[in-house]
Amino acid sequence: MTHLEAQGVRMRFVTYGGLVVRRVWAKRGTLIGSFLGSAIVISLFVVVPLYEDSIKAVDLQFALAGAGEDGTSMVLSATMNDFSLAIAAENRTAVVENGNKLAPWYSQSFEWLRTREFVVIPIEGALMTDEGERLGWFDVAQRWRERKAAFVPETSDEQFDEPPPYPGPPREALQYRAWTGTDIKSRVQLVSGAWPQEGAERVVDGEGVVLQAVIGVDLARVLDASIGDRFLTRPLVTGLAGFAPVVVAGIVEAVDPNDPYWGISRPDELMFYELNAFESWMVGVAVDPATDPWERDVTGFPGVIVNQRFRYDLNQDNVAFKDIPELRNGIAQMRASAARESGGRVSTDSPLIRLLDQFDTRSVVVGAPIQAILALVVGGAIYFLVYTASLTLEREGTELALLRSRGAGTWQTVGIHIAQSAIVTGGAAAIAPFLARALVAVTGRVPPMSDLTGGGTLVVAEAQSLRPFLVGGVILAFGAMGLAIVPFARRSVLELRVLASRPTTKSIWQRYNLDLFAVALSLVVLLQLRQRGFIIFEGDKVELDPIAVVFPVLLLFTGALLLLRLLPFVLRIVGWSMTRSGHLSLALPGWHLSRNPVAYGRLALLVWLTSGLGAFALTYANTLNTSFTDRSVFESGADARIVADHAGYLDLGEGFTTTPVMRTAGGPSQRGRLAQILAIDPETFPTVTGWRDDYSPLSLDEVFTALRPDKEIARVGIGLPEDATGLRFEGIVQPPTVLANLDSPDPRESAVSVVVKVMDARGRLWTIVSSEELTFEEWRSVDVDFSTGLQLTSGTKRYVDPPVGPFELHTLWFELGSNRNGIRSNGNNVYIDDMVVTTASGEVPLDLSELESVNGLSHRSNIANLGLIQDKYEAVPPGFEVPAVDDMRQDPLYRDGTSDLFRSPRRTTQSTLIPELRYRVAPLNVLVDADVQSSTGLDVGSSVRMSIGLVDLDVIMVGRVDLMPTMTDNRFTGKMVFDQRPLVATLNGAATWSVNRPVAAVSGADELWIKTDNPDAAVRRATAELGTAPDEIFTARGSAADFAGRPVQIGLVAILFVGAVTSVVLALAGVVSYVLLAVSRRAREMGILRAMGFPRRGVAMTFALEQVVVLGLGSVIGVYGGVQLMRLMVPFLQLGETAAVVEPTVRLAVAVPVLVGYVAVVAVLLVGAVLWATRRVSASQMSEVLREVER
């Protein structure tokens, strides 16, 4: 190529460039839509990594903040049994040098050295000689030395083989640890005494080498040690000779006992050394055997296990999201290098790595929907781009025809258009990163994300390169816009001219039925995904199935194609029906709709996408929100839940609806699988708990009513009158026989208390003991006062309110007095007469016949009281004359009439069961879930034997419950729900010796579920009632905050709203573009109509009606499509932060009023845009109209 030719080529390019630039400038009005679309498509591509990173960054900050210092710090430790300062220094070098590489994220906060446990051995009075003399260890050693010295080998065939009397730890030895550190003197402060002078840590006196030590104040207190006191100390794990005498040189206390420096150690119970003293004693000190009481050549603690620990604290403010890979690598390298360079001694523990692993899992699981949704938004934006590009091309048909007729080749036509697209795309690409950053930043202001960002913009994190996404977006935008020319460029001049006036009616998709193929493909993918799930688990790694991310887009695409085929039919029918109207403003749009339904179909599709994305976003947000609420209520059970001993029985008073709940575990006998059990009050539970109708096939009322058919409370004992206050009876213990009485038995030895278990009206089981003991000395009137229940409780396992009647008597048994050797009754016969129930209005006879004998306590009624006297004479000394019956009646213990006789069996060593009388509770009704049902083979109405705790009981299945709030403990298999009252009676109704546990301590409802608008007040009230803070507090609001606090999920909602707003903007731009094009095409038509007297308003009305039909159709289908798309997205949400399926599962929640509002707003915006776009023809003067007609 010659210079001139080259110059010519360059000039041609310049001229082409000029042509293209002029073209772009001339079409700027219509190209703005393409530019906007391109910018948004590219931006959204860039938003994907930016948003993901930014949200993760926020999540990371929250995760780090939530983990606290301990959760993020790095601890390196070396455990040595060959400790020396040199080794410690080697470890330090290995740690510090590698630690420096992690600056500025990590900074070393401290280093310390600590031993394993030592025991303190008192020196004085350690051993008792045969003479009853108590000797100290030094004395013992001295005597041993003396014996050894006195031993003359020549006088004996044996060697002196008596081992040195090394001090051994006493049984109740006090344990402590030795501690040092480079800055130990600044960590503790002297209370008394002084640190040993440097070099004088050891003193040598008659007791050998004595170590000077500084001890903590608490250790000093329990040792009762003061300055100068001595004791022996020995490591638990060294050889026998490893011990040393210690003298207290100083007493210290920690400057800050809560300083993380101390970890779980209690500093005031430690013994402290300076670093050098620590080394000298842990390594061992050479001594002259002559000066050592035990003739050792080494004293100290060689071989003691020493732990050296370095802690590095994370500077959370310096951790940026993009640093994570480097930080992770750094920690891994530190772990490896520190281990290698320390000879394998130093190991690294970094909870941060576990935190990051969890963070990664969460990011994948919870981030999946973000990617899927962003893909959706990108898909929608691409459609918009293609749509506006095709509009532009249709408009350019005439020009393309002209170019072709002027000799433009295919590639020249393509080239000009592609260059134009390149300019538009280039411009869009230039602003896209900024737009993307702005989009990401603005999500920080979108509620609920604004709660996390404090209302500010989201800090944009950029951990991964944006370039691939930018390039991807540019390629896609450019392809969607630029490549659309290719089929046009190959068309003939006439075809292009025809195209300009009559757009194509069939897309390439329909021509080759590719849309139907896409539908089939979507169905196949959907089936695949349903079978294999959306998340791939490979070992510990959790990955998102890429198909799952693409699937929503595929579905959107397929739906769009299908609608492109269907919408023209629908619009044609609608248009045709409009033409039936006699009104021109209605008929005209009808004609247009039925004549050119394809173009309107595309517009409707755009609106479909907009309203679809909006409906999807709103439904997504609502579903997510509802799920959070469901999950939080499910986790808390009710508005508030208090867990503490017997908290279920608290009475919070006015304003709170409460129900007691008992939680335990049990399962079918002989199966070894345990199910979670909740025992509830069927009457009040449904009014308090948060319930969802899919928890059980039955409704909330039905399911719990099944536990109490006909609302009848299950009987658990002999019903006592409503105003019963206790029991009263007269009784006596069978006196000893005359023979036995010769030994003058102590009446207290056989005295018995009567113990009963009664259940009060609130389902509490009370163990109540008679006010006095029965003895054999006299008939004694005894009360069992129910009001004494509270006094009998002890410890924390107690009820806080007195018993409330009416009561049911469940158990009765006898217990020997507490001051004897064993309290179990042992063959005692007890006569009880006139057992009555005391009430406010008098006494009511009590019939015990409903109680069954258990474990051998026999009960017989109507036993003649004479038997008591006759039994006295059953064993008499030889020669003793048994009185006649009449004489027996003279016995002071004799009384007329009959009594109830209770006879307990003789005590044996094998039997530990308690003889008792007990009410047999009917088999318990139970609700079970599918797991229990399958493991037991239960069906409604059938029964099975269960084991709960140590109690076997028969249960009858009365219904199915698949989910129960708070029953989320995955250690158990299955769930069961009982009526609390009979279950408590069954589990705790058995007699219990008072020595085994506090008398009133029964396992009951330790949870109080509260329905309230003010959970905080409920918690305060409960705390006040309990007198102490509850063990655990759950509130629905608190749980919701925990879930919703996950920035990833919140971010999801935020981006959805941004997506919805973006889609509205795109739709507005698309509609305006279309209407402007339609107006310019139909200006002539409208001009003619105006000239013929068609009113100005009629013109606007014509366009508006057309668009209302199209937009209305698009909106309705869009809202439906959006909701359906959300239905398909629901599986994405089923996995929680730990990749486990959430309970209760996420359900689609459609917010109908919000959707209606959204559609109304979009419709107003779009119709407003239409009217604005038609202003040219509708508002122009008649002269302009006539000029339009002329043109």
Partner 1 sequence: MTGAMVECVDLIKIHKQGVLEVVALHGLNFSMEEGEFVSVVGASGAGKSTLLRVLAGLEQPSAGTVSVDGVELSGIDRRDLTNYYRRNVGFLWQDFHRNLLPYLNVRANVELPMLLAGVGARRRKARAMALLEAVGLRNLAFAKVGTMSGGEQQRLAMCVALAMQPKLLLADEPTGELDTHTSIGIYELLREMCERDGLTVLVVTHDVALATRTDRVVRLADGRLVTTQGGADEAVVQVASDGSVQFPREMLRAAGIGTTTRAKRTDDGILIRPMDSHDA
17/1157 with CB nearer partner 1:
17
Nearer to partner 1, 9 or 204 (CB): 9
For the bound state, the minimum distance from the C-beta of residue 541 to partner 1, rounded and expressed in Å, comes to 55
Return the C-alpha torsion angle 316, 321, 323, 325, nearest 10.
120
Secondary structure letter of residue 617 according to DSSP = H
Beta strands in 734-873 (DSSP E): 752-759, 765-769, 780-785, 808-816, 829-839, 842-845, 851-854, 858-864
Binding mask 370-399 for partner 1 (x = CB under 8 A): ----------------------------xx
Q: What are phi and psi of 860, to 5 degrees?
A: -130, 140
Closest approach, Cβ 490 to partner 1, in A, equals: 8
Report the residue number, 27 or 1147, with the smaller CB distance to partner 1: 27
Nearest distance, CB of residue 6 and partner 1, angstroms: 12
- Interface with partner 1 by CB under 8 A: which range of 8-16, 329-337, 471-479, 521-529? 8-16
CA distances 598 to 466, 505, 563, 842, 962, Å, are 38, 6, 10, 94, 51
Give the residues across from 662 on adjacent strands.
679
401 vs 751 by CB, closer to partner 1: 401
Strand (E) or helix (H) holding 499: helix 493-501
Residue whose pair of structure tokens reads 């021109």 in the numeric block:
584
Distance CA 148, CA 160 (A): 7
Phi, psi of 270 (to 5 degrees): -105, 165
Phi, psi of 166 (to 5 degrees): -65, 135
Site for partner 1 in 908-947 (CB under 8 A): none
By beta-carbon proximity to partner 1, the closer residue of 490 and 530 is: 490
Q: In the bound complex, what is the minimum distance in angstroms from residue 497's beta carbon to partner 1?
A: 8
Secondary structure tally for the chain: helices H, strands E: 34, 38
- The 749-768 site mask, x for binding partner 1 (CB under 8 A), equals --------------------
Antiparallel, parallel or unpaired: β 271-272 and 174-181 = parallel
- Chain residues 402-421 in contact with partner 1, contact rule CB under 8 A: 402-410, 412
Binding test (CB under 8 A) with partner 1, winner from 44, 320, 401, 549:
401
Burial class (CB in 10 A: 0-12, 13-18, 19+), 586: middle
The CB-of-507 to partner 1 minimum distance in angstroms stands at: 21
Query: What residues from 466 to 525 belong to the interface with partner 1 (CB under 8 A)?
Result: 490, 492-494, 497
| CA 661 to chain centroid | 21
Q: Measured from the CB atom, is 32 or 536 closer to partner 1?
A: 32
Q: Which is nearer to partner 1, 372 or 401 (CB)?
A: 401
Task: Kindly tell me which of 20 and 570 has the beta carbon lying closer to partner 1.
Answer: 20
Query: How many binding residues for partner 1 (CB under 8 A)?
Result: 29
Show the binding pattern over residues 295-334: x = contacts partner 1 (CB under 8 A), - = does not: ----------------------------------------
Angle made by CA atoms 818, 821, 825, in degrees to the nearest 5: 70
Residue (291 or 412) nearer to partner 1, CB: 412
CB of 626 to partner 1, least distance (A): 55
Asked if 584 and 1098 count as a contact pair (C-beta separation under 8 A), the reply is yes
Report the nearest approach of partner 1 to the CB of residue 408 (Å): 5
Nearest of 972, 983, 917, 916 to residue 946 by alpha carbon: 983
Binders in 847-866 for partner 1, by CB under 8 A? none
| Smallest distance from partner 1 to CB 491, Å | 11
- C-beta of 25 vs 517, nearer to partner 1: 25
Structure token digits, residue 837 = 């129930």
Q: Which is nearer to partner 1, 311 or 497 (CB)?
A: 497
Which of residues 504 and 771 has its CB atom nearest to partner 1 in the complex? Answer: 504
For residue 396, the minimal CB distance to partner 1 (Å) is 11
Angle, CA of 620, 624 and 628, to the nearest 5°: 170
Q: Which stretch binds partner 1 (CB under 8 A): 4-12, 263-271, 633-641, 1087-1095?
A: 4-12
- Report in angstroms how near the CB of residue 1064 gets to partner 1 at its nearest: 32
CB of 401 to partner 1, least distance (A): 8
Among 630, 442, 552, CA closest to 1036:
630
Considering the complex, what minimum distance in angstroms separates the CB of residue 602 from partner 1?
24
Binding segment for partner 1 (CB under 8 A), chosen from 7-15, 532-540, 587-595, 694-702, is 7-15
The DSSP annotation for 1044-1091 comes to: HT-HHHHHHHHHHHHHHHHHHHHHHHHHHHHHHHHHHHHHHHHHHHHH
Contacts of 255 (CB under 8 A, 6+ apart): 186, 187, 188, 189
- Burial of 1092: CB neighbours in 10 Å, binned 0-12, 13-18, 19+: exposed
Query: Where does this chain touch partner 1 (CB under 8 A) — which range of 154-162, 363-371, 400-408, 904-912?
Result: 400-408
**Which of 362/417 has CB closer to partner 1?**
417
Q: Which residues are CB-neighbours of 1085 under 8 A, at least 6 positions away?
A: none
E-strand ranges in 456-563 read 535-538, 541-544
Residues β-bridged to residue 753: 815
Question: Cα separation of 744 and 758, whole Å?
Answer: 37
CB of 571 to partner 1, least distance (A): 22
The residue among 282 and 408 lying less far from partner 1, judged by its C-beta, is: 408
The least CB distance from residue 407 to partner 1, in Å, is 3
- Kindly state the smallest distance separating residue 561's Cβ from partner 1, in Å: 27
Q: How far is the CB of 409 from partner 1 (least distance, A)?
A: 5
Chain Cα centroid distance, residue 404: 68
∠ Cα 911 916 922 (to 5°): 110
Q: Quick one: 6 or 520, whose CB is closer to partner 1? A: 6
Q: Which of 8, 795, 842, 1168 binds partner 1 (CB under 8 A)?
A: 8
Provide, rounded to whole angstroms, the least separation between the CB of residue 499 and partner 1.
14
Query: Given the rule CB under 8 A, which of 10-18, 446-454, 465-473, 577-585 is the region that contacts partner 1?
Result: 10-18
User: Do 418 and 482 touch, CB atoms closer than 8 A?
Assistant: yes
Give the x/- contact pattern for partner 1 in 11-30, rule: CB under 8 A: xx--xx--x--xx-xxx---
Closer by beta carbon to partner 1, 21 or else 1152: 21
User: Residue-wise over 728-761: b if at least 16 C-beta within 10 A, else e?
Assistant: bbbbbbbbbeeeeeeeeeebeebbbbbbbbbbbe
Check residue 318 and report its DSSP letter.
G
Q: Which is nearer to partner 1, 402 or 1151 (CB)?
A: 402
* Smallest gap from residue 525 Cβ to partner 1 (A): 40
Yes or no: say if 729 and 836 are a contact pair by the CB < 8 Å rule: yes
Nearer of residues 225 and 401 to partner 1, judged by Cβ = 401
Q: For the chain, give percent helix, strand, coil, nearest 5.
A: 50, 20, 30
Site residues for partner 1 per CB under 8 A: 8, 11-12, 15-16, 19, 22-23, 25-27, 398-399, 401-410, 412, 490, 492-494, 497
